[in-house]
Amino acid sequence: VQLQASGGGLVQAGGSLRLSCKGSGRTLGYYALAWFRRAPGKQREFVSGITRSGSGTHYADSVKGRFTVSRDNAENTAYLQMDSLKSEDTAIYYCATPAERFWTPTMWEHDDHYHYWGQGTQVTVSS
């Protein structure tokens, strides 16, 4: 199972980026999927999550209203649209899925519930 995150880059504050997470070796549509990030000198933190059908989403307060998570199960791919970017969004962004199909909303923000992780994509926001 592999998750390939891409789409990161350098953008000015106020700009936008769209991250992608392509899965191989498993059908992503059977599993919840989340995005995490790790900023320099900080612990990894939850950013956003989406249920396997795409009908439910969850966001960290710091990105609510600016980021939008989505997925295309036919393409085995999830996305994170990031708008109104701020310098504090600078981080390496990771996508992750759990090993099991069972999922409840209480699991979103705890990274120990996720078994498969992408390699990360760097997002740098200049002020």
Q: Distance between CA atoms of 95 and 48, rounded to whole angstroms?
A: 9
Arithmetic mean of pLDDT, 110-115: 94
Interatomic CA distance for residues 121 and 91, integer angstroms = 8
For the record, the structure tokens of 40 come out as 């320099």
Band of the pLDDT at 26, cuts 50, 70, 90?
Answer: confident
d(C-alpha 34, C-alpha 98), whole Å: 9
* Residue 108, C-beta contacts closer than 8 angstroms, at least 6 positions apart: 32, 34, 46, 49, 58
- Residue, of 83 and 25, whose pLDDT is higher: 83
